[in-house]
Structure 1
Amino acid sequence: MHEQVDGGFGAWYRRHRWWADPFAMALLAVVMAALGFRALWEPFSLLPASVSPWWALALALPACALALGKRRRPMAVLAAVSVLFVVDLLTVGGIGTLVVLLDVLWTAAFLAGARGRRVLLAVLGAATVVLFAAALMFADVSLPVAILIGVQFGAIFGTDYWWAVAVSQAHELAELHRQRAEDAAAAAERDRVEAVRAERESMARELHDVVAGHVMAMAIRAEAALSTDPDPARDRAALQAVRDAGLDAHAGLRSMISVLRRGGEHLAAIPRWGDLDGMVSEAKRAGLVVRLDAPQAPGLGAGAEQAVLRIVRESLTNCIRHARGAEVDIDIHELGSEIRVRVRSRGGVASEAARHSGEGWGLQMLRERVDALGGSFAAGPVTDGWAVEGTLPTEVRV
Structure 2
Amino acid sequence: MSVMHEAKAERLREWYRTHRPAADALLITLFALLAAALGFMGVWSMFSLLPTDLSPWWTLATALPACVLVLTKHRAPMLSLVGATVVFAVDLLTIGGLGPLVVLLDVLWTAAFVASPRARSRLLAALALATVVLFAAALALSDTSIPVAFLVAVQFGAFVGTDYWWAVAVSQANELAELHRRRAEDGAIVAERDRAEAVRRERETMARELHDVVAGHVMAMAIRAEAALSTAPEQTADRAALRAVRDAGLDAHGALRSMISVLRRGDGELSPTPRLGDLLGVVDDAERAGLVIRFTQAELDAVDTATEQATVRVVREALANCIRHASGAEVEVVIEEAGDGILVRVISRGGVALGSAAYSGGG
8 Å Cα contact 1:329/1:344 also seen in 2: yes
Change (3 A) 1:277 1:351: farther
CA distance in 2, matches of 1:145, 1:260: 83
Extract unaligned runs of 5+ from structure 2.
Answer: none
- Aligned-pair identity in percent equals 64
Deviation string 1:92-144 (CA, Å, 9 cap, x unpaired) is: 11111111101000001111121111111111111112112211232221222
The answer to whether the 8 Å contact 1:39/1:50 transfers is no
1:388 maps to which residue? none
Tell me how far apart the structure 1 counterparts of residues 227 and 55 of structure 2 sit (CA, whole Å): 117
- Given candidates 150, 153, 162, the residue that maps to 1:150 is 153
- What is the 5 A alignment of 1:134-283? 134-261=137-264, 265-283=268-286
Which residue number in structure 2 is paired with residue 349 of structure 1? Answer: 353
Q: Note if contact 1:293-1:330 (Cα within 8 Å) is conserved in structure 2.
A: yes
Is 1:53 matched up with 2:35? no
Provide the rounded CA distance (Å) in 2 between the counterparts of 1:287 and 1:338.
31
RMSD, aligned α-carbons: 2.1
Alpha-carbon offset, residue 303 of structure 1: 1.9
SS in 1 for 2:358: helix
TM-superposed deviation, 1:235: 2.5
Deviates more, 1:318-327 or 1:204-213: 318-327
Which residue does 2:43 correspond to in 1?
A: 40
Task: Please say which of residues 215-224 and 111-120 is displaced more in the overlay.
Answer: 215-224
How many angstroms does 1:57 deviate by? 2.2
Deviation, structure 1 residue 296: 4.3
1:84 is displaced (CA, Å) by 0.7
- Structure 2 partner of 1:361: 362
**CA–CA distance in 2 between the matches of 1:245 and 1:93?**
102
Q: 2:339 aligns with which of 321, 325, 336?
A: 336
SS of equivalent to 1:130: helix
CA distance in 2, matches of 1:275, 1:257: 23
Structure 2 CA distance for aligned equivalents of residues 248 and 235 of structure 1: 20
3-state DSSP of counterpart to 1:354? coil
Displacement, 1:259? Answer: 4.1
8 Å CA contact 1:47–1:91 kept in 2: the answer is yes
Alpha-carbon distance in 2 for matches of 1:23, 1:2: 25
Counterpart residue number, 1:128 = 131
Which residue of 2 is the match for residue 7 of structure 1? 10
TM-score with structure 2 setting the length: 0.92
1:167 Cα deviation after fit: 0.9
Q: Letter of the 2:37 partner, please give it.
A: A
Report the secondary structure of 2:19's partner residue.
helix
Alignment of 1:72-111 (within 5 A): 72-111=75-114
Task: Tell me the CA shift for residue 24 of structure 1.
Answer: 2.0
Q: Name the residue aligned to 1:365.
A: none
Q: How far apart, in 1, do the equivalents of 2:77 and 2:187 lie? A: 35
Instruction: Quote the offset at 1:164 in angstroms.
Output: 0.7
CA distance in 2, matches of 1:298, 1:167: 66
The Cα offsets for residues 351-378 of structure 1, whole Å up to 9 and x where unpaired, read as 54434x4xx223xxxxxxxxxxxxxxxx
What SS does the aligned partner of 1:85 have?
helix
2:328 is the counterpart of 1:325: yes
Q: Unaligned regions of 5+ residues in structure 1, if any?
A: 363-398
Matches of 2:267 and 2:57, distance apart in 1: 83
Within 5 Å, which residues of 2 pair with 1:368-379? none
Letter in 2 for 1:287: G
Conserved? CA contact 2:227–2:327, under 8 Å: no
Deviation at 1:258, TM superposition (A): 4.1
> What SS is found at the alignment partner of 1:332?
strand
Is contact 1:125–1:154 with CA below 8 Å preserved after alignment? yes
Aligned length: 359
Shift of the 19–328 alpha-carbon distance from structure 1 to 2, 3 Å rule, reads farther
User: Aligned to 1:334, what secondary structure does the other structure show?
Assistant: strand
Partner of 2:295: helix, strand, or coil? strand
The TM-score, its normalising length taken from structure 1, stands at 0.84
TM-superposed deviation, 1:260 = 4.2
Which letter does structure 2 place at the counterpart of 1:342?
A: R
Identify if the C-alpha distance between structure 1 residues 295 and 252 changes in structure 2 by more than 3 Å, giving closer, same or farther. same
CA contact (8 A) 1:293 1:332 kept: yes
One-letter amino acid of the counterpart of residue 283, structure 2: V
SS at match of 1:71: coil
Please say if residues 131 and 150 of structure 1, whose CA atoms lie closer than 8 Å, have aligned partners that are also in contact.
yes
The Cα offsets for residues 136-187 of structure 1, whole Å up to 9 and x where unpaired, read as 2322212222222111111111111111111111111111111111122222
Whole-angstrom distance in 2 between the partners of 1:25 and 1:353: 93
Q: Does the CA contact (< 8 Å) of 2:300 and 2:337 recur in 1?
A: no
Contact between 1:326 and 1:345, CA under 8 Å: does it hold in 2?
Answer: yes
Deviation (angstroms), 1:7: 1.0
> Is this contact kept in 2: 1:252–1:268, CA < 8 A?
yes
Task: List per-residue Cα deviations over 1:61-118 (Å, max 9, x = no partner).
Answer: 2222122121122111101110110001100111111111010000011111211111
CA distance in 2, matches of 1:141, 1:299: 95
Q: Say whether the 8 Å CA contact 1:216–1:353 is kept in structure 2.
A: no
Structure 1 distance, partners of 2:27, 2:12, is 15
Q: Is the 8 A contact 1:330 1:343 kept in 2?
A: yes
